Amino acid sequence: MIRRRYSQMLAAFLVVTVLGCAPAPAAAAERLIVRTSGLLDLPVVKSVCRLVGCQVLYGLDGTLGKLSLVSIPDALAVPLVINLLETIPGVSVELDQIVRTEGAPGTQAPLALYDKEPINYYGTMVRGGYVRQPAVEILGLLDAHRTYGVTGRGITVAVIDTGVDPHPALKPVLLPGYDFTRNREGGAESTDVNQSTMAILDGEPGFVNQSTMAILDQSTMAILDGPDYAAFGHGTMVAGVIHLAAPRAQILPLKAFKANGSGYASDVLRAIYTAVREDAEVINMSFSFSTRSRELEYALNYATTRGVVAVASTGNNGQKINVYPAALSNVIGVASTTDWDTLSYFSNYGPTVAWIAAPGEGIVSTYPFGSYAAAWGTSFSTPFAAGTAALLVELNTRITPSQAADAQGHAVPFSAEVKKGRLNIPAALRAGRPLLRLW
């Protein structure tokens, strides 16, 4: 009764406040991420929105019920609506920023992309260049599988990205997932294209597009070009690298980015909460926010305190800067190296953002429509660390996120700009294995 009376009084106050103001129209429609806590919660936000003209679209944190997305029409002044919402005790507001995921500039097709010999890799036929590429040897990947007998079996890795195509190499481990860009079941990125948007590339390897510099090797394979498809294939390639490192780990595709590489922060948040709800042990985030987000921190705190290992890319600006979530203390930030253990020229760096590094140049991986491609960027060094995290969790089911980070920190030193050095998977597994009890 007290709560309802207080809500009515607050709503009346807000009506007077709104009628007493003449808000200037917003330049464009905006979206707000609204958190509620304490005495007043989401129903009050809905009441306020009915009064001022904004709209609560949907919740962002599943059954927790404390986080929602609010849309502000063009006619309303965004600062006014934010101020009104924040007058409610226990309510905080954050703008729903647009974020992007894309690759870094590449050069020419790596030799591994020409290795088309079919080989059996844990039950599926893949191309030889996928398994025999330099990164596999540099990281000691196959040696780690043989020595410790772990392949990610029973572990789920959530991939927050552009979606994952049901590539023949990935089908046995691919879960249905969810598409947050369309609010529907299924996480395949091939739904972003149709025959009318496809172009044809014949013959020798060539660029898929100039934005990501991914290089595709195929003959008469349908591919895409142009800004609308600048990141098409990104998620499938990331998933392929995870599969290479942890071939029996299940992959949960959470599509939060469109084919052009853009996505909303709110969809990233929904994906993180969904990954926890779906019992993922690892989250791969091959994207970065240029500015700090309070709600991104809340979401990852929620995930890691429940045992989820979070891994993120440092970004491709070639600068010593902090980007998020890689710079958060409970996230494993991954920079990119060349095949000669030097920092990639495009990789962001610095000990506050880059915990470790891994090869990220000319990485050969799965690509939509059953093909393979090579790409450059911290986006593709990061899934090596995510796959290693899956191996660590299989090896030691009680390992905590901080222990998994410490284990991967047993790395090959090579630069003061990366806190722990270049990832060495056998060393990480050796450090992360459970201690033997003698009683």
How many angstroms from the chain centroid is the CA of residue 47?
34
DSSP for 302-348? HHHTTT-EEEEE--SS-SS---BTTTSTTEEEEEEE-TTSSB-TT--
Q: Encoding tokens for residue 226? A: 């142009």
Catalytic one of 145, 167, 234, 410: 234
Annotation says 145 is catalytic: no
Is residue 290 flagged as an active site residue? Answer: no
Cβ contacts of residue 340 below 8 Å, gap of 6+? none
Q: Of 41, 61, 115, 161, which is the active-site residue?
A: 161
Strand partners, 56: 70
- The answer to whether residue 161 is catalytic is yes
Q: Which of 332, 329, 335, 433 is nearest to 386 (CA)?
A: 332
Which H or E run contains 239?
helix 234-245
- Six-digit token string for 289: 């926010």
Of the candidates 183, 207, 182, 200, which has an alpha carbon nearest to the alpha carbon of residue 192? 182
Of the candidates 221, 112, 240, 216, the one whose C-alpha atom is nearest the C-alpha of residue 166 is 240
Kindly give, in sequence order, each residue whose CB lies less than 8 Å from that of residue 251, ignoring residues fewer than 6 positions away.
156, 157, 159, 164, 170, 173, 174, 175, 239, 242, 243
What tokens does 189 get? 């990125």
Catalytic residue among 68, 286, 379, 381, which? 379
The residues carrying an active-site annotation are 161, 234, 379
